[in-house]
Amino acid sequence: MKKNNPFTLTFGKQPGEYISRYENTDTIVSTFEADNPISQAYLIEGVRGSGKTVLMTTIANIFSEREEWVVVDLNSTQDLITDFAQRLYGECNKIPNLLKSGFSVSVAGFGVGVNGTGQTQDNVGIIDSILSSLKKKNKKVLITIDEAMPSENMKFFASQFQIFIRKDYPIYLLMTGLYENIYAIQNDPALTFLLRTPKINMEPLSIPQITKQYKAIFKLETEDAHKMALITKGYAFAFQALGMLYYEYNDTLQWDEILSKFDDLLDDFVYKKIWEGLSEKDRELVRVIGTGVTSVSDICEKLQISNTSFPRYKERLLKKGVVSIAGRGLVELSLPRFAEVVELYP
C-alpha cells in the first residue's frame, strides 16, 4: 500500500480528499445557531455510502471548535438516555464551575447521581440539572446519533428530547439513518414532532467537483478525469474507492483490472447490504433496468406489471437511493456499476 493515499474507505472518517457539502452544512449550522431556530433537530437520510456520517461529523467538528457548544456523540446501540447522561456529564465536567460540588454520575450506568443538595437523581434528572446549568451559562448542546434505528430505546429518548425542548433548553439533535429507518422513526405515532423535523437527503456529489479533484490529484487531462468522475455517478463511497485504487495501482495495473477491484470494493463494503435490504420484486426491477437508461414501458412489459402499479416500486427505490429519474418515462440505477456487481448475485 502506497503511503499518504488521500482517499479512505473508513466510514464516517473525514478523508484527506472529499467533496464538501457546503449547502447542507450551512443549512444545519445556521439553523442551530439562529436566535429563534426553525428546528432544533435535523435528520440526514441516504443510502449506505452516500456520506451521511461524514456530513454529520463535519458539522459536529464545526460546533466542537466553538466555545459556547458542547457536542455529545451517542451510540444508537446503547441505552440512549443512560449514554447521554454519562457523556454529557463527562463533557461538562471539563467546563470550570459548571457542575455543582458533589454532583456525580454512576459510571456503572445504573442512572443514579447526586446533586448539590445531596438528593439522588435518575438519568433524566441528571440531564435536566446539567441542561439547566448550561442554559444559565449560555451554552448549547448538540447530540449526534449515527445510523438511528426504530426501537423502544429510540422512542423513549426522542420523547424525552421533546420534553427538554418544551422546557426551552438549548439542546439540538442531529441523526443519520437509512430511508426505511428514518421513515419508521418519523411515522411513529408517539413521535409526531420528528414527523415535522426537516430532513437532508444525500444527493450525489457534483461531477464537476469530482472531476476537478481527480484532475488535480492525479495530474490528468480534464477529459480523463471527467471519465473517472462519471463512473462514480457522484456516489460518495465510489469517489473515495475509485480514487484510492487509482492512486494505488494506476502505474501497475490496466484500467479493466482497476475497475474489477473497484467492483469488489463496492460489493464488499456496501452493495451486499443494499441488496439484502431489497425485496424480491425490487431485485427483479434492478436486474431489468440493468446498466443503462431504461423506459418504464419496457420494465412493465418484462415484469408483467401495469403502468399504474410501477410508480409504487419506483418511489420506494427512489427513496432508497437505488434508482433515479433519467427523463420522462425513463429510469436508471443511481449506484455506479450496481448492475454489474449484482449480476453475479444468486
Torsion of CA 64, 65, 68, 71, to 10 degrees: 0
Q: Domain-by-domain residue ranges, the chain?
A: 22-201, 207-275, 279-342
The cell for 59 is 458539522
How far apart are the C-alpha atoms of 44 and 145, rounded to whole Å? Answer: 10
Report the pLDDT value the prediction gives residue 112, as an integer from 0 to 100. Answer: 47
Cβ-based burial of 322 (10 A; exposed 0-12, middle 13-18, buried ≥19): buried
| Cα four-point dihedral sign 23, 29, 30, 31 | positive
Please give the model's pTM, rounded to 2 decimal places.
Answer: 0.89
CA nearest 138: which of 174, 170, 95? 170
pLDDT tens figures, 162-203: 999 999 999 999 999 999 999 998 888 878 788 889 999 999
> CATH for 22-201?
3.40.50.300
Q: Answer whether CATH 1.10.275.10 is correct for domain 279-342.
A: no
How far apart are the C-alpha atoms of 189 and 5, rounded to whole Å? Answer: 47
Report the pLDDT value the prediction gives residue 22, as an integer from 0 to 100. Answer: 92
Report the pLDDT value the prediction gives residue 16, as an integer from 0 to 100. Answer: 65
Report the pLDDT value the prediction gives residue 191, as an integer from 0 to 100. Answer: 81
Residue with cell 425485496: 279
Report the pLDDT value the prediction gives residue 120, as an integer from 0 to 100. Answer: 57
DSSP conformational letter for 213:
H
How far apart are the C-alpha atoms of 288 and 232, rounded to whole Å? Answer: 21
Q: With a cut of 70, list the residues of the chain below it in pLDDT.
A: 1, 12-17, 98-121
Cβ-based burial of 292 (10 A; exposed 0-12, middle 13-18, buried ≥19): exposed
How far apart are the C-alpha atoms of 96 and 116, rounded to whole Å? Answer: 16
Report the pLDDT value the prediction gives residue 346, as an integer from 0 to 100. Answer: 84
